[in-house]
């Protein structure tokens, strides 16, 4: 029973985007590891920007400064 957890920052990921992620990851696990898709669980957890950080700063603070991961 594969369990896949996807964590993303809470920034408006749509229901449709989540469905695409769930379907794509399930297919990848099924095709790559030959796992039954009916037993594959995918969880998407959205994290507040205040609760996610890198480079010693909260993402919310970095965004206020106009800094994104690709600009660092």
Residue pLDDT, tens place only, 21-56: 999 999 999 999 999 999 999 999 999 999 999 989
pLDDT at 67: 81
Which sign, positive or negative, has the C-alpha torsion 63, 65, 71, 72?
negative
Domain ranges of the chain: 3-71
Catalytic, 37? Answer no
Q: Out of 2, 4, 30, 52, pick the active-site residue.
A: 2
**Side-chain half-sphere CA neighbours of 50 within 13 A:** 0
Q: What's the CATH class of domain 3-71?
A: alpha beta
Confidence (pTM): 0.82
């Amino acid at each position: 029973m594969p369990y896949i957890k996807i964590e993303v920052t809470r920034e408006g990921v749509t229901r449709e985007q989540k469905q695409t992620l769930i379907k794509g990851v399930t297919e990848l696990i099924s095709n790559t590891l030959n796992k039954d898709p009916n037993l594959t669980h995918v969880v998407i957890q959205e994290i507040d920007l205040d609760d996610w950080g890198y480079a010693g700063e909260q993402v919310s603070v970095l965004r206020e400064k106009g800094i994104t991961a690709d600009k660092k």
